[in-house]
Chain A
Amino acid sequence: MSGPLLLAQAVGRIRSRVGAVFIGSHAVFRGKDLHAELGDAGWLDLYLFGITGRRFSAPKLRLLEAMWTYTSYPDARLWNNRVAALAGTTRSTGNLGIAASLAVSEAKIYGQKPSYRAIEFLVRLRAHIEAGGELGPLVERELSEHRSVGGYGRPVTGGKDERIEPLLKLARSLGLADGPHLKLACAVEEYLASSGRARLAMNYAAVIGGLSADIGLSPREHYFFLFPLLLTGMVPCYRDAAERTAGTVLPLPCDGVAYVGVPKRRWTNAGGPQAAPSKRRG
């Protein structure tokens, strides 16, 4: 069935495999009674159950939660946090500021996009190697097609990623640091270093991607698990800004923006613009 007939079947009703609330009675969450059967679940446990339909052991939940904790940076210079701070200083609502900050975190050079690329690459690499392929050629193809490998290299600072060792230490203590994806993540770093690309050191995205894949999350599941990854740093940035005098977070004077465009010109009546000689200023 296709076209309008397909659409007509869905008019006025939502079909759901995930749940519903029966107001005044109970709520169903992925086939379970939320209050009677899942009432003892922690929030992360329930969140992951919502994403995957599976439950995870306490050590795995501990490690997954630490992935959020160890990158909770309330630093308003960071671009996503800066959005929260700017919302605070302009007296927007906290919800709007944080929601926008979260949306901005789906960025190309940090946050959700490289994190998704990292786990997707590691899962693909593992399948490639299990099928008899070699690591080097797949890394080279990734570099050739995308000019980067998701999870390697770090914008702005470049160097060592301070989050990695504490997370690996915790993973080791929980017996969760010996999985195949994490080992591959380390092997990719070694390959890049040995081929003259030491600047592409493993970053947090590769480590959490490897650990998550070893815990059993698919790339898509990992993507949704990561949604609140940077949230904890945002709210303090908003609140700090909102508690200061309005407009005093990163005010920019006119000369704080360097103009590098065309010289001044005249916009004349009726006919629109007209080229006019003028001195370049600014």
Chain B
Amino acid sequence: MQYMQSRIWLEEPEPDNPFAARVSYCHGYDVYGEMLGRASWADMIHLLFRGEAPSPSARAALDILSVALANPGPREPSVHAAMCGGVGGSVAAASLMAALAVGAGSLGGAREVALAMEVWRACGKDLEAWRARWANPPSQAPSVWASPAHPVGFDPHGMSTSTPVRQTLTQLAALEASSRAAWLLDHLPEIERAAGHPLALTGVAAAALGDLGFSPEAGEMMFLLLRLPGAAAHALEQGGFGHKRFPFYEIDLEPSSESQAG
């Protein structure tokens, strides 16, 4: 028999059925026997991704982030995508898959968070390093991902730091004086000047997820996960309203290039 390996999960079977778990351990803790009723959602998320229960400030940071990211709102493209599923009566998972796909990219999505976390890795809390980064951004290796056309973690269409971005950053910064979030809040005007754009929620999430010790890859996953509740709720809502109350919008056809033989 071939085996998978896991550092995360251990299951012991019921005596009468090797396919039914009697007890399940997450990084050594008995999930159903001891954690249930005592541990919070944030505790479980931190344990799964980081392998340890969170400190009080890490737990608070995860709670803040979970609430801040839970619903990007119906104007946001990933939620819009989920609503396209909901309004047409697509199966539930399709609406969430739509939200994940549209919310995965480098403009406002999980890819942007991962790339912004890479910037933190490279620049840390060194203002000059941030300035140099935005003055000469490194080229991206050729890949299936389109290269971001703006400084990741910042809003290319923004005029000033939006109130929710500042409120989220302020809440996170208050938890730990030595955190990335606190440093970012302290240096926000200089950082935004260097980037040429106001900070976005993706930039706040990148700082917070870095403070929590998440790798860019884990941060990308977390961002995808944490934004699903709003997508689900709005998909259901639009399904209830029905397609006649969901805009179809107008289309302007522009000239198409002439076809050529290949």
A residues bordering B, Cβ < 8 Å? 2-4, 6-7, 12-20, 28, 30-32, 48-49, 52-57, 60, 92-93, 95-96, 99-100, 103, 106, 112-113, 116-117, 120-121, 124, 145-146, 215-216, 219, 223, 251-270, 272-273, 278, 281-282
In the complex, 25 of the A-B residue pairs with CB atoms within 8 angstroms, ordered by the A residue number, are A3-B159, A17-B253, A20-B251, A20-B253, A48-B262, A55-B260, A56-B261, A56-B262, A57-B261, A57-B262, A96-B91, A99-B97, A112-B144, A113-B143, A124-B142, A223-B144, A254-B12, A255-B3, A257-B3, A261-B9, A261-B27, A264-B10, A268-B34, A270-B38, A273-B29
Please state if B259 and A32 are interface contacts (CB–CB under 8 Å). yes
Mask: chain B, 18-31; 1 = CB below 8 Å from A; 0 = not: 11010001011110
* Minimal beta-carbon separation of B32 from chain A (angstroms): 11
Please state if A113 and B144 are interface contacts (CB–CB under 8 Å). yes
Chain B residues with CB below 8 A from A106, complex form: 144
> Contacts A253-B13, A255-B13, A258-B4 given: A14-B158 contact, CB under 8 Å?
no
Instruction: Pick the residue among B8, B53, B252 that contacts A272 (CB under 8 A).
Output: B53
* Minimal beta-carbon separation of B5 from chain A (angstroms): 5
20 extra A-B contacts, CB within 8 A, seeds A17-B257, A60-B262, A266-B34: A6-B157, A13-B252, A20-B253, A30-B257, A53-B257, A99-B94, A113-B143, A121-B142, A251-B19, A257-B5, A258-B4, A261-B6, A261-B9, A261-B51, A267-B38, A270-B38, A273-B53, A281-B12, A282-B12, A282-B25
Please state if B262 and A52 are interface contacts (CB–CB under 8 Å). yes
Please state if B38 and A31 are interface contacts (CB–CB under 8 Å). no
Q: Which residue of B lies closest to A111 (CB)?
A: B144
Chain B residues with CB below 8 A from A267, complex form: 29-30, 34-35, 38-39, 53
B43 at the interface (CB under 8 A from A): yes
> Contacts A113-B144, A273-B53 given: A15-B261 contact, CB under 8 Å?
no
Q: Which residue of A lies closest to B19 (CB)?
A: A253
Q: Which residue of A lies closest to B158 (CB)?
A: A3
Chain B residues with CB below 8 A from A31, complex form: 255-259
Q: Which residue of B lies closest to A264 (CB)?
A: B28
> Contacts A3-B158, A14-B250 given: A53-B256 contact, CB under 8 Å?
yes
Q: Which residue of B lies closest to A119 (CB)?
A: B142
Bound form: Cα–Cα A253–B144 in Å:
37
Chain B residues with CB below 8 A from A262, complex form: 7, 27-28, 51
Chain B residues with CB below 8 A from A55, complex form: 259-262
What range describes how many residues of B lie at the interface? Answer: 35 or more
Bound form: Cα–Cα A92–B92 in Å:
11
B141 at the interface (CB under 8 A from A): yes
Please state if A257 and B51 are interface contacts (CB–CB under 8 Å). no
Please state if A96 and B93 are interface contacts (CB–CB under 8 Å). yes
> Contacts A30-B259, A53-B259 given: A281-B38 contact, CB under 8 Å?
no
> Contacts A18-B256, A20-B251, A261-B6 given: A254-B21 contact, CB under 8 Å?
yes
Please state if B254 and A54 are interface contacts (CB–CB under 8 Å). no
* Minimal beta-carbon separation of B143 from chain A (angstroms): 7
Chain B residues with CB below 8 A from A252, complex form: 4, 19
Please state if A257 and B4 are interface contacts (CB–CB under 8 Å). yes
Q: Which residue of A lies closest to B93 (CB)?
A: A96
Chain A residues with CB below 8 A from B257, complex form: 17, 30-31, 53
Please state if A13 and B142 are interface contacts (CB–CB under 8 Å). no
* Minimal beta-carbon separation of B61 from chain A (angstroms): 15
Instruction: Pick the residue among B9, B141, B249, B252 that contacts A259 (CB under 8 A).
Output: B9
B11 at the interface (CB under 8 A from A): yes
Bound form: Cα–Cα A266–B5 in Å:
23
Chain A residues with CB below 8 A from B159, complex form: 3-4
B177 at the interface (CB under 8 A from A): no
Instruction: Pick the residue among B3, B30, B94, B262 that contacts A256 (CB under 8 A).
Output: B3
Mask: chain B, 136-160; 1 = CB below 8 Å from A; 0 = not: 0000011110000000000001110
Bound form: Cα–Cα A45–B256 in Å:
18
Bound form: Cα–Cα A106–B1 in Å:
29
B165 at the interface (CB under 8 A from A): no
Bound form: Cα–Cα A223–B143 in Å:
10
Among all A-B residue pairs, the 6 with the closest Cβ atoms = A31-B256, A261-B7, A259-B10, A56-B262, A253-B18, A273-B53
Chain A residues with CB below 8 A from B68, complex form: none
Bound form: Cα–Cα A216–B221 in Å:
37
Q: Which residue of A lies closest to B257 (CB)?
A: A53
Instruction: Pick the residue among A30, A48, A254, A261 that contacts B28 (CB under 8 A).
Output: A261
B123 at the interface (CB under 8 A from A): no
Please state if A259 and B6 are interface contacts (CB–CB under 8 Å). yes
Chain A residues with CB below 8 A from B188, complex form: none
Chain A residues with CB below 8 A from B19, complex form: 251-254
Chain B residues with CB below 8 A from A2, complex form: 157
Bound form: Cα–Cα A14–B247 in Å:
12
Bound form: Cα–Cα A54–B257 in Å:
9
